[in-house]
Chains A and B, each alone.
Chain A
Amino acid sequence: MSHELRGSSAIVGVGLAGCGEAHGRMPLDILAEATHNALDDAGLKLSDIDGLFTGSSYHFMPTLSTAEYLGIKPRFSDGSMVGGSSFVAHTLNAAMAIKNGLCEVALICYGSNQRTAGGKLATMSEQQTYETPYKPRYPISSYAFAAARHMHQYGTTRENMADVAVAARKWAQLNPEAFSRADLTREEVMSARMVSDPLSLLDCCLVTDGGGAVIMVSSERAKDFPNKPVYLMGTGTAHWHRQITQMPDLTTTAALDSGKRAFDMAGLTKDDVDVVELYDAFTINTILFLEDLGFCAKGEGGAFVSNGNIAPGGSLPVNTNGGGLSCVHPGMYGIFILIEAVRQLRGGCGDRQVSDAEVALVHGNGGVLSSQVTSILGTEAVL
């Protein structure tokens, strides 16, 4: 028997705002504009929203600040904070709330002015007593540890990681909305300034501004909207640690569990997936998640991502908007992978459109490879 949440809700509106640079705008200004665009897309108005799901690095009580700014009075709110994966995780909570009649129109939203506010990572994170004396750089050093360990255990190379950045850039070149679209070679990634070995500046995601919003309703209502509904087939969450010292094996993430949970709920397998949107904060992420989600065997991710295999024209379309590496990355990126997946499943993505896309896998990452959240989205064809 299929899971009761499988396909029970659908995304009927998406909106972006301020991606790149949004000079003079505050995080909630950007979030509100993205919300406006998502409502327009769905043919809804602000007063229709009765469920609010959001996270922030700026607002300690993000649902309260966001609802206040928007002038809405949600019946149900959830500000669960699992870093950049929060917005993917919110799809599960929104689906539960909708299924149980706690809300009818759910808004999942985010906004950040990280780039124009100075480029520093905004954080309300607590001081780490046992790490501060050693001056690691957050979050890059944690990912550098994982990359170094993957190289040591499996022979993954800097060339392999560079190929992740090159593939992302090739997708970005097909996306007029992407922030970084200049030609990029493997050699340029490898010769870029090292930040925290083995990761160079071009192994790291962008620092941009940007906001995104997603509107979810029950599947029963989903056909009453202007756009083709995109159904939430399943979401799975998992976390095994908070700080990198507590991660049992730096080459294996909790995506192993989140992916299985999402596929189980969806009643689908990786062979059903047409397009993959992963949280690529650093090049090593893409390699780790493709392995842990089952697209290749553990240790073979380096070879899998190389030589254009995940680039346009490769065997598996990965991060078709250009990813956090080349499209947009305003502090937390999870909302943007959801939006790109929806747009791919609707069709109409222009030069970067994956043909006959019916199933998309969205994978969010939060903290330092800590929170892993996988969602499977599908068109009516797989409902």
Chain B
Amino acid sequence: MSEISTSPVGPGPDKVYADYLKKEVFALPKCKKCGEFHFFPRIVCPHCGSFELEWQPLSGKGEVYSTTTIRRKPERGGNYNVCLVTLEEGPRLMSRVEGIEAEAVKIGAQVCAQINNDSDEPFVVFTPAKEA
């Protein structure tokens, strides 16, 4: 059985991911063997099975893969968007697009990651990419 090349002690990938976000960095594990990124963060590459991974920052660029508007009464905060975004580096994650109406989020739209720091546990949201 091969060794896990990441440190055998210390925080696991959930904690490392969260700590990067607290430092305003959106990063994910990248496989040293096959070169693929993955999400959610693990200690094994789900693409090739290698345990040799390294954390790398992401470009923050992505594309809306699918989207839904969750209907909510105005007095409870109104409708909101939840979407799946495929990152330029390959992985897909759940998120939301901010800055436009929920219903205006379309499949195929180009989006940019932002780190939402409103709570003690930052998370990634997206905004529409600026026109080139």
Q: Is the CB of B107 within 8 A of A149?
A: yes
Does B93 sit within 8 A of A, measured CB to CB?
yes
Q: Which of B71, B84, B123 is close to A244, meaning CB atoms less than 8 Å apart?
A: B84
The answer to whether A136 touches B94, judged by C-beta atoms less than 8 angstroms apart, is yes
Tier of interface size on chain B: 20 to 34
A187 interface residue, CB < 8 Å from B? no
In the complex, are the beta carbons of A197 and B82 less than 8 A apart?
A: no
Q: Is A10 an interface residue (CB 8 A)?
A: no
Task: Name the A residues within 8 Å of B39 (CB-CB).
Answer: 130, 245
Give every chain B residue within 8 A of A5 (Cβ-Cβ): none
- Any B CB within 8 A of the CB of A3: no
Q: How far is the CB of A331 from chain B (nearest CB, A)?
A: 21
B92 within 8 A of A: yes
Chain A residues with CB under 8 Å of B116's CB are: 133
A245 and B68 contacting across the interface, CB-CB below 8 Å: no
Asked if B67 CB lies within 8 Å of chain A CBs, one says: yes
Contact A135 B66, beta carbon cutoff 8 Å: no
Give the distance in Å from the alpha carbon of A244 to the alpha carbon of B95 in the complex.
12
* Nearest-CB residue, chain B, relative to A200: B71
A144 contacts the other chain (CB 8 A): yes
Residues on the B chain within 8 Å of A246, using CB: 92
Interface residues of B in 45-75 (CB under 8 A from A): 65-71
1/0 per residue, CB under 8 A from B, across A141-159: the answer is 1001110110010000000
Q: Does B80 lie within 8 Å of A145, measured CB to CB?
A: no
B93/A196 in contact, CB under 8 A: no
Q: Which residues of B are found within 8 Å of A129, using beta-carbon distances?
A: 14, 40
Contact indicator B40/A145 (Cβ below 8 Å): no
Q: Find residues 194-208 in chain A having any chain B CB closer than 8 Å to their own CB.
A: 194-198
- Name the B residues within 8 Å of A130 (CB-CB): 39-40, 93-94
Specify which chain B residues have a CB less than 8 angstroms from the CB of A133 in the assembled complex.
116, 119, 121, 123
Are B123 and A145 neighbours in the complex by a CB distance under 8 Å?
no
Q: What is the bound-complex CA distance between A136 and B72, given in angstroms?
A: 12
A195–B72 Cα gap in the complex (Å)? Answer: 8
What is the bound-complex CA distance between A137 and B93, given in angstroms?
16
A152 engages B92 (CB within 8 Å): no
Residues from chain B with a CB closer than 8 A to the CB of A195 are: 70-71
Is B103 positioned at the interface, with any CB of A under 8 Å from its CB? yes
A152 and B82 within 8 A (CB): no
Q: Is A221 an interface residue (CB 8 A)?
A: no
Is B30 in contact with chain A by the CB < 8 A criterion?
Answer: no
Q: Return chain A residues, CB-CB under 8 Å to B68.
A: 136, 141, 144-145, 148, 196-198
Known: A129-B14, A152-B107, A245-B94. A137 touches B66 (CB 8 A): no
- The contact of A136 among B70, B108, B123, by CB within 8 Å, is B70
The answer on a CB contact under 8 Å between B67 and A134 is no
What 6 new A-B contacts, CB under 8 Å, besides A133-B123, A136-B70?
A129-B40, A134-B94, A134-B96, A136-B82, A148-B107, A198-B68
Residues of A within 8 A of B (CB): 129-131, 133-137, 141, 144-146, 148-149, 152, 193-198, 244-246, 250
- 21 A-B pairs within 8 Å (CB atoms) are namely A130-B93, A136-B82, A136-B94, A141-B82, A145-B84, A148-B66, A148-B67, A148-B107, A149-B65, A193-B71, A194-B69, A194-B71, A195-B70, A195-B71, A196-B68, A196-B82, A197-B68, A197-B103, A198-B68, A246-B92, A250-B84
